[in-house]
Chain A
């Protein structure tokens, strides 16, 4: 009798467990994120990772979603050799259906072949080198942020309009910096500015006094910098040490809180350009920032967090629609036209590039990145160095 009772209890417990399990079981789907979580640009990588994590959390909290998503995060350290390793690891793992990848252009361009070989659909969220989507026509590669071509055209236009004629170019010798130099030089040639000297520097170089001394002798009105925040901070600080009076004109690589924190008052009057618009002005900006703040992440989303969120959202939408199959997701992503997202409408062209052409001009004013049109420099209340 007791044995029968014991057996019955066990069977009942097993059945109820199974029932509970089936009721709660949504298929688990893995998605990936790759970004620079360590090193000089880690602030942007961590912001991107948090934003992607937010997208996955919100989707998992949504009762209407068909799958339960698990985020796999890998660190590319903003180094191409490491990036290829982690990309291969992620792409070779068949469970990972799609990924939001790369802030650094040097890493993104190094890994396009890996993703193509393994057939992993990726959406780039921060790298701006045009070659990433335009060098090959790989169906796997997509990008939600714009490229540096438009950025540099807007840059050349503004500085020429402000009356500057002589420029020195400092660029880092990765594909990112070289790309910026190429497109800025081309854009400047069209508007008639003169480049008095171009200097390539290492991506983690410490001492720029030698290059800057030469630049001082050449006496340009503007120093254009094609590179990322860590060396941007150093160059600007050493410019001041050598007594160089010129405008510091940068790219999306220095639009970050880390740039202002690194320089303090020296950051004042730095120009920079970025595709898209500041988070507050994005269509879904308020929504994104509210949800982001609730999660209490250690790091802010930084400049490209919203793009990372949008990239992951696209991926999750795709998987919801066609299921966890890489091939089907690739086909679905190819057909994205006028899709709504927090960064505005997304349309992928035949190379997977989002045809966003909005470029925002920024200037550092009183310790903050301010949109140029809203700044006192545009209205004339403040003047940039050597402005006529």
Chain B
């Protein structure tokens, strides 16, 4: 295997891993703050991607330059999904917080189906995959077998910046402190004067905004979106969050890239059975879970006896 080929594999893995990491961070945030699994997260990603597409269609007919259009799409999608996330938290998740966690999982799973099928039904010809505009410069430089594209590099950098931004928000701002406080101990945080409901809504907004960004990244990378994209990404994002350790942001990021690496390894190591790369990746995840049930980077929980 020559260096160019290896570099290409690494690049592919990084791109895919970045998207999984963005979704996984959302899952981990929701679990950290409320101890719930929000299974509609993947489908929020889909709705975000389609919102961006709608914005593009709207602006395109008004005729604008491409960088401004891209920025507008990102802003509209992120804010719209943040709003959607807050609505889900306010009306679906918070009312159920005293019920068993399974109920929230089920209800968000159902919501996910509703979101997915709504996209399919209400977006014109929603059942068909939709081309996503290529708004990033597509210059590329070929280094042997490795085709380095400018748009891939931009996406990778943007994804990394987003994750770094979330990490900064969580670890170095007061808001982040409040979120971490609620995640650690809800009762005490409230006693300290932190507005619990507001923090939950903000956490959901952040997670869903990230999902919207991941959806746009997905659209720009594959130049295509379809109504089922969130389901697959949601499952993998969830698995990645679990491997990394639910509740730990770094764990989610690690889990995302790890899963991508496993998938790439699966394709390379089993060339005759590249269709089984997901089987291979998930099998390894199962073994990981048997070895480290709480994930690679466990949340530090101490219980007073």
Residues of A within 8 A of B (CB): 38-40, 42-43, 173, 197-202, 204-207, 209-211, 213-214, 216-217, 230, 233-234, 237-238, 241-243, 258, 261-264
Contact = CB atoms under 8 A, between A and B. Distances in A.
Contact of B267 (A43, A211, A238, A242): A211
A201 B12 contact: no
A213 B9 contact: yes
Contact of A210 (B125, B140, B152, B274): B274
Contact of A173 (B131, B268, B275): B275
Given A200-B274, A217-B145, A234 B267 contact: no
B46 interface: no
Contacts of B274: 199-201, 210-211, 214
A258 B222 CA distance: 17
B131 A261 contact: yes
B220 to A, nearest CB: 11
A202 B278 contact: yes
B127 A264 contact: no
Contacts of A241: 147, 149, 152, 223
A82 to B, nearest CB: 15
24 contacts: A42-B127, A43-B127, A201-B275, A202-B278, A207-B222, A207-B263, A210-B263, A210-B264, A210-B274, A213-B145, A214-B268, A214-B271, A216-B145, A233-B224, A234-B129, A237-B223, A238-B222, A243-B140, A243-B142, A243-B147, A258-B129, A261-B131, A262-B130, A263-B131
B222 A234 contact: yes
Contacts of B130: 262
B5 A213 contact: yes
Given A173-B275, A202-B275, A243-B140, A40 B131 contact: no
Contacts of B232: 204, 206
Given A42-B127, A43-B128, A261-B131, A214 B267 contact: yes
B161 interface: no
Q: Interface majority SS on B: helix, strand, loop or mixed?
A: helix
Interface string B268-304: 1001111101100000000000000000000000000
Given A202-B275, A206-B222, 19 more contacts: A40-B129, A43-B125, A43-B127, A173-B275, A198-B272, A199-B275, A201-B274, A206-B232, A207-B12, A207-B222, A210-B274, A213-B5, A213-B145, A234-B129, A234-B224, A243-B140, A243-B142, A258-B128, A262-B128
A242 B147 contact: yes
A198 B274 CA distance: 10
Contact of B16 (A38, A202, A207): A207
A261 B124 CA distance: 14
A262 B224 contact: yes
A264 B130 CA distance: 11
A200 B125 CA distance: 28
Interface in B1-19: 5, 8-9, 12, 15-16
Interface in B248-278: 263-264, 267-268, 271-275, 277-278
B229 A200 contact: no
A204 B263 CA distance: 16
A39 B127 contact: yes
Given A43-B128, A204-B228, A233-B224, A38 B145 contact: no
Given A197-B271, A206-B232, A213 B224 contact: no
A40 B128 contact: yes
Nearest to B149: A241
